[in-house]
Structure 1
């Protein structure tokens, strides 16, 4: 007879953080729609912080499509894509219509043929700046990847290799400027911390987190043990 705790058979590590994704998925489905019929969930954080991987795992549990902000940005407009996302994505979804956006090809340096994004019950938007002030009115919840910028950028540089070194030099300056002018973390409902075996989901700031915060202070204390 067991107490229900799941352990990694090799390390004996408690895998409770992995179950947090299941609890989070259920809580996100229960939120009120925020963009027409859609519960729009943002996953924000520094470049290289693990947003894409986390969003993919969360999307699999939610059976939800993911919009990657890399598809809306460009070399000339690293953060000046708010008009594009509003017209191509947010307004159609708010009307319950299929959104059609033109993904950017970072090799060809051009926007491609339209890609469809359905008004699913839950849609994830993932990328640096997903929680910016222009998007927050359309969000049901904002999740922030809790990893500091230097560590995140080091991971990103390692992932992309020396060929992208010059791009990263410019990116880190642009990202620093963006978050200094339009921070996301103070408005996060939930902080996501990667850990062995899964993720910790911690409560956002009690001052700024709104009614859509779905990880309680009690939950936060429990995950830190």
Structure 2
């Protein structure tokens, strides 16, 4: 396995997570909310998982991936709205949040999950950073990566399950970016080669 110094993607992820750890510490709260947005294949999920492992506070955070909430291939905006209403708003008010996992194979909602407002929270996924969700977060992140690299990673990860939907999903991402300008909302921009 290549070392971080040999792998520019791994090095960029490590540098980005270091910046996020510092941003979380600067919030000076026991339950900060971190939103990680970016287009498909940008490395959002990897960054979120590494941040969970390297969380700088005493109690580990909760991680919610929007991929578990989107109601199918046309559900980017709906999934983000669900996360705002069912997870982020209750957390901001000190209330227990609940959400249901969407079973992509069955095409229906499955089990429910709770979100504890006393714990830190990381929400990652395409569309996570909007004008409405930004107000409910302490650390706002945009992960940026060139389209060829993103496509290679996403299709390498999800293969034939994603390939026929790439353009359809990308159109929703473009609409999200045009409407919300998540780069302008971000406190931290992480470039990934």
Please state which band the TM-score falls in when normalised by the shorter chain: 0.7 to 0.9
- For 1:74, the equivalent position in structure 2 comes to 71
Is residue 34 of structure 2 the alignment partner of residue 41 of structure 1?
Answer: yes
Equivalent-residue separation in structure 2 for 1:150 and 1:68 (angstroms): 23
Equivalent-residue separation in structure 2 for 1:67 and 1:84 (angstroms): 12
Does the 8 Å contact 2:129/2:140 carry over to 1? yes
- Identify if the C-alpha distance between structure 1 residues 9 and 117 changes in structure 2 by more than 3 Å, giving closer, same or farther: closer
144-153 vs 183-192, which deviates more?
A: 144-153
Equivalent-residue separation in structure 2 for 1:9 and 1:112 (angstroms): 38
1:96 corresponds to which of 88, 94, 97 = 94
- For 1:133, the equivalent position in structure 2 comes to 131
Written as runs of structure 1 = structure 2, the 5 A alignment for 1:65-214 is: 65-75=62-72, 76-194=74-192
Equivalent-residue separation in structure 1 for 2:5 and 2:90 (angstroms): 48
Q: TM-score w.r.t. structure 2 length? A: 0.81
Does the 8 Å contact 2:37/2:128 carry over to 1? yes
Q: Which has the larger radius of gyration?
A: 1
Gaps of 5+ in 2: none
Q: TM-score w.r.t. structure 1 length? A: 0.70
Equivalent-residue separation in structure 2 for 1:9 and 1:80 (angstroms): 37
- For 2:27, the equivalent position in structure 1 comes to 31
Equivalent-residue separation in structure 2 for 1:10 and 1:189 (angstroms): 26
Question: 1:42, CA displacement in angstroms?
Answer: 0.8
- Identify if the C-alpha distance between structure 1 residues 100 and 165 changes in structure 2 by more than 3 Å, giving closer, same or farther: same
Higher normalized helix content (fraction of residues): 2
1:89-132: CA deviation from partner (whole Å, max 9, x where unpaired): 12321232321111111111111121112124421110011111
Aligned-residue CA RMSD (Å): 2.8
SS at match of 2:39: coil
Is residue 48 of structure 2 the alignment partner of residue 55 of structure 1?
Answer: yes
Gaps of 5+ in 1: 1-7, 196-225
Equivalent-residue separation in structure 2 for 1:134 and 1:69 (angstroms): 16
124-133 vs 159-168, which deviates more?
A: 159-168
SS at match of 1:112: strand
Equivalent-residue separation in structure 1 for 2:184 and 2:77 (angstroms): 19
1:128-167: CA deviation from partner (whole Å, max 9, x where unpaired): 1111112011011111112123431332122211343212
- Identify if the C-alpha distance between structure 1 residues 9 and 193 changes in structure 2 by more than 3 Å, giving closer, same or farther: closer
